[in-house]
Amino acid sequence: MTPLERAEAKFGWKLVTPTILILGLLILYPLMYNVYLSFFDVQLNGYKTFVGFENYIKLLTNTDYYSAIGTTSLYLLGTVVGTTLLGLAMALLLKDPFKGRGLVNAAIMLPYVAPVISVVFGWQFLFDPISGVVNYLFVDALGIWSERTNLIGNPDSALWVVVLFDIWKHAPIAYLLILSKLVSVSRDQYEAAAIDGYGPIGRFFHVTLPELYFVLATVVLLRLIWNLNRFEDVYLLAPNVQTLPIFTYYQAFTGVIDQGLAAATSVIQLAVLSVFIWFYIKKIMKW
């Protein structure tokens, strides 16, 4: 190592040290501490007693836990498929420049940046059984449903409202990722395919889709990673939809508080998440 390189390395460490300290202390350490906590009976005031694997046994024999896994799976399936397809449709639709595209772009990005707490109230009002426009549409205007229903009040239907909400909120991000790849597909390829006799649909399947394969995989993986931990969107819109994060939150901070059990839930969830993240860093990230 030359003195210059040594000076560079020293400077590098100096700059990155605060970050390492903060992230280490407040993310990496808590993750390990969480594993430790999962072997204890933990009170809200910090009082702990060692219980070994009891939390895990309690968790794995709890039917609510399995139903939370089921709900989470449906939520993930619905949001991943919906967000990717809508994002793709948006990208295809808005790929070519047209008058007013900037405005349309701003409008469709708005759900993504808006505070969850504000927009959930809009959604709650839309689905309100008395004043909401959804009930008005399906009961009074179209007559498809025979009576007004509280879609958010019933956990089964609320899940699908939450899925729709999540698609609405995160399709813009899928759109941006897909669009950035889509605009790089060269026009020559489409013309070649057109000369070969492919119509618009054939061109989509033989040119666009193969080119987008990688970015679509990225979108799917990112949706899985973020939505596995999604808390606010679900809890604030429909607190009765118990996906895993909501289940954990209830265990940890409401009713009969059992933070050790919540810790055990988080440990299992982190293990699953780590697989997704490892896959993402390994296969997709080029940092």
Partner 1 sequence: MLGKRTLTGRIGFALAILLLVSFSLLPFAQILSTSLKHQYDWGNPSLIPQTINLDAYKELLGLTEAKKVEMPAAIQKILNNPKLPQDKKDAISAKYMSNDNLFPFGKYMLNSVIFSVGAATFSLVFSVMGAYSISRLRFKGQVVIQRSVLFVYMVGGVLLMVPLYQMAMNIGLASSLWGSAFCLFLIYIVQTLPVGMYMLGNYFRGIPFALEEAAMMDGCSRKEAIIKVVLPLSLPMLATVFIYCFIIGWNEYLFASVFLKQYPEFHTLPLALQELFVSKNAIWDRIMAASMLTLAPIVICFLFASRFMKGGKTDGGVKG
Please report, as residue ranges, which positions from 211 to 230 form the binding site for partner 1 (by CB under 8 A). 222, 225-226, 228-230
Q: Residue 193 CB, nearest distance to partner 1 (Å)?
A: 10
Q: Which positions from 22 through 81 interact with partner 1, judged by CB under 8 A? A: 22-23, 26-31, 33-34, 37, 42, 44-46
* Helix (H/G/I), strand (E/B), else coil: 163: helix
Cβ atoms of 229 and 157 closer than 8 Å: no
> Which residues, in sequence order, are bridge partners of residue 181?
none
Separation of alpha carbons 67 and 74, rounded Å? 11
Among 57, 77, 93, 275, binds partner 1 (CB under 8 A): 93
Work out which of 63, 96, 199, 256 binds partner 1, going by CB under 8 A: 96
Query: Cα separation of 252 and 249, whole Å?
Result: 5
- Residue with smaller CB distance to partner 1, 30 or 202: 30
- Residue bearing tokens 């993310």: 27
Lookup result for tokens 């895993």: 244
Judged by CB under 8 A, does residue 114 bind partner 1? yes
* Minimum distance of partner 1 from residue 56's CB (angstroms): 15
Candidate ranges 51-59, 60-68, 87-95, 149-157; the one touching partner 1 (CB under 8 A): 87-95
Give the x-and-dash track for 158-187 against partner 1 (CB under 8 A): ----------x-x--x--xx-xx--x---x
C-beta separation of 264 from 65 below 8 A: no
Q: Which helix (H) or strand (E) holds 29?
A: helix 29-37
Strands (E), the chain: 40-42, 48-50
Per-position x/- string for 193-212, each x denoting binding to partner 1 as judged by CB under 8 A, each - no binding: -xx-----------------
